[in-house]
Amino acid sequence: MRTSAKALLAAVLAGLTALATGLTDDHLTAAEWVAAAVATVTAGGAVWRVPNESARALLRRRAVADALRAGALLRRRAAAGARRPAGPLVDRVALRDEVDRRYEADDPQG
């Protein structure tokens, strides 16, 4: 399901739930309308903000981004004339190994 559809559905359901709760005494006060509006905006915004990927995929994507940033920094230092880089230059094999190491260390499912 697309993020926008999920966010819209969550917002509508939260708003309707808040309105139904307010209607238990057969009328809605201003505070109950405000609570319904806050519930609608909060639920829609929270669902919109959460990424549509598993925790495993998110950890792998972050590990790759970290490794690429480290490799770019080392290459810039080497290109600037540094005699010896601060660490090993990152190539594809080292990048893969680094991603696997971080993924295994951060994997919540073991």
Q: Where are the domains of the chain?
A: 3-49, 55-106
Q: Would you say 94 and 41 are in contact if contact means Cβ atoms under 8 Å apart? A: no
Counting Cα atoms < 13 Å in the Cβ hemisphere of 19 gives 8
At 85 the pLDDT is 47
Give the pLDDT confidence of 55-106 residue by residue, as tens digits. 777 777 787 788 777 777 667 766 766 555 445 555 566 666 777 777 666 6
Q: Say which range, 18-22, 34-38, 46-50, has the weakest mean pLDDT.
A: 46-50
Task: Note the Cα 103 to chain centre separation in Å.
Answer: 16
Distance CA 39, CA 22 (A): 12
Q: What is the mean pLDDT of the chain?
A: 78
